[in-house]
Amino acid sequence: METAPARPRQPVTPAGTATAIRTEGLRKVYRRGQDTLVALEGLDLTVAQGEFFGLLGTNGAGKSTTIGMLTTLVTPTAGRAWVSGHEVGADPVGVKSRIGVVPQANTLDRALTVLDNLAFRGRYFGMSAPAARRRALELLERLGLAGTAGAKAHQLSGGQARRVMIGRALMHVPEVLFLDEPTAGVDPRAREDLWQLIGDVHAAGQTVVLTTHHLDEAEALCRRLAVIDHGRLLACGTPESIKAAGGARSVITVRYDADSRAVEDAARRTPGGPHEIVVDGPTVQVRTTHPDGVLGHLVRAGGAAGLTVRDATTTPPSLRTAFLTLTGHDYPVSSTHLTLPTKRIVEVSQSAIT
Ligand SMILES: Nc1ncnc2c1ncn2[C@@H]1O[C@H](COP(=O)(O)OP(=O)(O)OP(=O)(O)O)[C@@H](O)[C@H]1O
Ligand SMILES: [Mg+2]
């Protein structure tokens, strides 16, 4: 095993609580022919029992790799991890018996009925056939899926399949439930139902660890978050503390009708500064903790330089602005579900904003 690089240890455990998950320098390097790819740099993390914890990051950040290592499916290159008191590398069977895993991909047995998908999992964990069937029916009822018990798994919609996978993972009453992108590919309505369901599971006392690339999902569900980018842990804490770590900055973006370099100097003299200014083609972005008056200043500066504002947005401090501060790059807004309190002003005239 290679040695993880030296890094500061982060005290991230809420005091006075029992530990569900702990990692020390957990690192994964994938080999691709001659090349290597560091998927996780070396993660130090502690999750308390009963917590609702989220791993937040964009595509390829290393979320599934982390979940894979914690659930014994991916072998770490370096570092150690404990789940429910059992070390993942030394006692994978002990870990597996205490966790439920809902992977990113649909892994239901398509040829089996929904009921059998659940019941077979119960049998795998040592339940008698009648006990497994009873538990499966009870869970399907609780998940609002009683009507699908006899359907073949391939007949389910994406949202139903996700619920069945959660039910399957709960069959043996795991101490920790891992959910890798539980709402990927699920429509907004089904997504809210899933949020409710996962919230109920957590309220019933389960430790829940979820990965997501949806900022709103992370904020709505998780009591604490680890923000991961390119395999590095950038921040860990409550959504509020992560926003604070990101400098609680607002982002004001103005797009002009022509190259914005003409207003660059004026933008740098925006009152209340110094602010971070990013000039990119027709767009000027001001990232600041003192947003008052910035937009008006940029509009007036554009007018003085003969430019017209085509589009302007002000994004108040949010996980998205914190991510921008922490990583230096914007959070891709690929999701139609992303709901940000962004004020959007299109085609404003200079006189409209003071
Ligand atoms: N088996 C593998 N072999 C080689 N590279 C891999 C393997 N699995 C993942 N990777 C790479 O490791 C990096 C992290 O991948 P990972 O799947 O952990 O990201 P993720 O945060 O779960 O992304 P997504 O949001 O797309 O699911 C990516 O660059 C990915 O291409
Ligand atoms: Mg993933």
Q: What does the alpha-carbon distance between residue 56 and residue 63 come to, in Å, rounded to a whole number?
A: 7
Q: What is the pTM of this model?
A: 0.78
pLDDT band at 292 (very low <50, low <70, confident <90, very high): confident
CATH class name, domain 19-108+156-243: alpha beta
Q: Do the domains 246-348 and 19-108+156-243 match in fold?
A: no
Atom of ligand 1 nearest to the CA of 28: 12
Task: Return the CATH number of 246-348, one of 1.10.357, 3.30.70, 1.10.530, 2.60.40.
Answer: 3.30.70
DSSP string, 38-66: EEEEEEEEEEETT-EEEEE--TTSSHHHH
Q: What does the alpha-carbon distance between residue 305 and residue 192 come to, in Å, rounded to a whole number?
A: 47
Confirm if 119 and 130 have CB atoms less than 8 A apart: no
Structure tokens of 223? 């009591």
Q: What does the alpha-carbon distance between residue 19 and residue 84 come to, in Å, rounded to a whole number?
A: 7
More confidently predicted of 248 and 33: 33
* 259 closest CA partner among 287, 286, 280, 285: 280
Output the CA 2–ligand 2 centroid distance in Å: 24
pLDDT band at 353 (very low <50, low <70, confident <90, very high): very low
Q: Residue range 106-121: average pLDDT?
A: 96
Residue the block writes with tokens 């709402």 = 183
Q: Residue range 50-58: average pLDDT?
A: 94
The yes-or-no verdict on residue 330 having pLDDT over 80 is: no
Question: Residue 349: left (phi > 0), alpha (psi -120 to 50), or beta?
Answer: beta
* Pocket residue to mutate for ligand 1, from 37, 215, 233, most atoms within 8 A of Cβ: 37
Any idea where the domains of the chain sit in the sequence? 19-108+156-243, 246-348
pLDDT band at 352 (very low <50, low <70, confident <90, very high): very low
- Helix ranges (H only) for 97-248 are 114-124, 129-142, 158-170, 188-203, 215-221, 239-245
69 pocket-lining for ligand 1 (C-beta < 6 Å): no
Confirm if 110 and 152 have CB atoms less than 8 A apart: yes
Output the CA 57–ligand 1 centroid distance in Å: 12
Element (H, E) at 252: strand 250-256
Atom of ligand 1 nearest to the CA of 213: 25
CB atoms within 10 A of CB 98: 17
Q: What is the pLDDT of residues 168-179, one digit of tens each?
A: 999 999 999 999
